[in-house]
């Protein structure tokens, strides 16, 4: 453990990371249970609802691509703080901007804030927690899911009291608290502010040359796409099935609670699985089965589908980040690499809820989307089987070689 972390209090820093992470999904997760009210009051269609999810996720990806520049200008600690402030302001602004254009504008703001935090947090965690990084990232991922769960589960009830605009705005409060605790916990933590090369330079290898990078990017995109698809469209889907609004929100809450518990279990036990392939394949198979149940028995086995998807995605989401971090030991390079993978993955994932919205507008049915996600989850098993610990070492060695000497071949 580094000297800066000893001064910073690791327990307080972990609590701050967890509280920050709680604020990274409510801007998206609270929308699903409120769709019918929002569409009725603003006149937006399903494609625009899809955009409200797509825009933040797409910007998460764009932000990750420029992580080196953000780190150089803002530093990890300052950039994370700024990101949470922007999330708080974007959430609060939704109270005064109750229109389609206002919702889209605040979605942009929330996406920028979330992008700052998510791009900088993996490198910050690796720099400060070294061998315990996987546990901290697992806890951080759990916080993301916990925030989504609370937002989804409480949205319908809160909106009955203060309306849907107030429900979206209320999430500025925990973000403000998170900024305060982050300011208290992080000043003495290890945090790289300036790049070791010039701002326009790139001390990292050209990751885009490696097939393994693209493989991990697609893998992360499919897992995150499943997560975002559930956030955006589970409640509207069940409303179409004749389920009450409160129960539709409850189903999403059940899914995200199970995700949170599962992600927490990943944080606690993942160190027992240095070879991540077993948990990865298990998560993909369970996720695929969940989508099958959602297609065949959506109402009869609604809670079973939520349980399967919660377990599958709850393992898949944190592990897709952990596996990327596993590939590189150096904290700064690992942060850059993880952001490269997450950047492309989030951009791919952002089109999943938008595609689902377009399908709903054209077919008035989301069932075919569940089948497509089943196929995608099963296809990812072939990639997961290639992520052996030995392949991490080959990949890391390839980064030390001059360009053109086999980096693109490290896929096994």
| Residue bearing the bigger pLDDT, 253 or 221 | 221
Quote the pLDDT of residue 185. 83
The answer to whether residue 3 sits within a structural domain is: no
User: Does 5 reside within a domain?
Assistant: no
- Of the given ranges (87-101, 103-117, 153-167, 346-360), which has the lowest mean pLDDT? 346-360
In this structure, is residue 267 part of a structural domain?
Answer: yes
In terms of pLDDT, which residue wins out, 12 or 156? 12
Q: Say if 95 falls within a structural domain.
A: yes
Q: Give the pLDDT mean for 30-58.
A: 83
Domain assignment present for 288: yes
- All residues at 6 or more sequence positions from 362 whose CB lies less than 8 Å from its CB, including other chains: none
CATH at residue 255: 1.20.1250.20
Residue 307 within any structural domain of the chain: yes
Burial (CB count within 10 angstroms: exposed 0-12, middle 13-18, buried 19+), residue 383: middle
- How far is the C-alpha of 133 from the C-alpha of 138, rounded, in Å? 8
The pLDDT value given to residue 248: 77
Angstrom CA distances, 177 to 18, 22, 79, 81, 174, stand at: 12, 11, 17, 11, 5
d(Cα 118, Cα 193) in Å, to the nearest integer? 16
Closest alpha carbon to 354 in 369, 374, 375, 339: 369
Asked if the model's pLDDT at residue 258 lies above 70, the reply is yes
| Structural domain boundaries, residue 106 | 10-190+204-409
Quick one: pLDDT at residue 293? Answer: 95
CB 48 within 8 Å of CB 72: no
Contact 287/312 with Cβ under 8 angstroms? yes
286-329: pLDDT as tens digits: 999 999 999 999 989 999 999 999 999 888 878 887 888 787 77
What is the pLDDT at residue 344? Answer: 86
What radius of gyration do the chain's Cα atoms show? 20
The DSSP line for 290-328 is HHHHHHHSTTTTHHHHHHHHHHHHHHHHHHHHHHHHHT-
What is the model's pLDDT at position 2?
A: 45
pTM for this one?
A: 0.74
Q: Give how far the C-alpha of residue 104 lies from the chain's centroid of Cα atoms, to the nearest Å.
A: 19
How many domains would you assign to the chain? 1
Whole-number average pLDDT of the chain: 81
Is residue 197, in this structure, part of any structural domain at all?
Answer: no
Considering only residues 402 and 171, tell me which one the structure prediction assigns the higher pLDDT: 171
d(CA 218, CA 208): 13
- Smallest Cα–Cα separation from 349: which of 188, 217, 257, 241? 217
pLDDT in tens, 146-189: 888 788 778 878 888 999 999 999 999 999 999 999 988 877 66
Answer whether residue 198 is part of any domain: no
């Amino acid at each position: 453990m580094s000297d800066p972390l000893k001064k910073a209090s690791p327990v307080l820093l972990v609590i701050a990371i967890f509280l920050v992470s709680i604020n990274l999904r409510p801007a998206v997760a609270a929308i699903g249970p409120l769709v019918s009210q929002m569409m009725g009051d603003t006149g937006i269609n399903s494609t625009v609802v899809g955009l409200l999810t797509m825009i933040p996720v797409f910007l998460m990806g764009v932000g990750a691509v420029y992580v080196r520049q953000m780190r150089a200008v803002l530093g990890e600690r300052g950039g994370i703080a700024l990101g949470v402030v922007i999330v708080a302001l974007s959430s609060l602004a939704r109270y005064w901007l109750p229109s389609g254009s206002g919702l889209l504008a605040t979605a942009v703001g929330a996406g920028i804030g979330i992008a700052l935090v998510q791009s900088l947090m993996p490198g910050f965690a690796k720099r400060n927690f070294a061998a315990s990084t996987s546990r901290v990232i697992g806890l951080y991922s759990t916080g993301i899911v916990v925030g989504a769960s609370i937002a989804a589960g409480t949205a319908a009830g809160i909106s009955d009291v203060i309306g849907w605009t107030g429900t979206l705005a209320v999430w500025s409060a925990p973000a403000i608290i998170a900024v305060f605790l982050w300011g208290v916990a992080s000043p003495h933590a290890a945090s790289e502010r300036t790049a070791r090369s010039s701002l326009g330079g790139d001390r990292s290898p050209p990751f885009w040359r490696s097939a393994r990078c693209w493989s991990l990017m697609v893998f992360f995109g499919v897992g995150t796409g499943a997560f975002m698809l559930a956030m955006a469209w589970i409640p509207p889907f069940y409303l179409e099935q004749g389920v009450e609004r409160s129960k539709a929100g409850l189903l999403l809450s059940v899914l995200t609670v199970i995700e949170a518990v599962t992600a927490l279990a990943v944080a606690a036990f993942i160190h027992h699985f240095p070879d991540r392939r077993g948990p990865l394949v298990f998560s993909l198979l369970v996720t695929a089965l969940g989508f099958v149940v959602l297609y065949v028995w959506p109402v009869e086995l609604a809670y079973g589908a939520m349980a399967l998807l919660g377990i599958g995605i709850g393992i898949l989401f944190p592990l897709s980040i952990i596996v990327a971090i596993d590939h590189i030991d150096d904290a700064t390079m690992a942060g850059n690499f993880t952001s490269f993978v997450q950047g492309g993955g989030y951009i791919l994932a952002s089109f999943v809820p938008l595609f689902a919205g377009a399908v709903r507008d054209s077919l008035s049915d989301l069932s075919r989307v569940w089948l497509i996600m089943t196929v995608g989850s099963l296809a990812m098993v072939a990639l997961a089987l290639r992520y052996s610990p030995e392949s991490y070492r080959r990949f890391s060695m390839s980064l030390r070689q001059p360009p053109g000497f086999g980096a693109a071949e490290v896929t096994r």
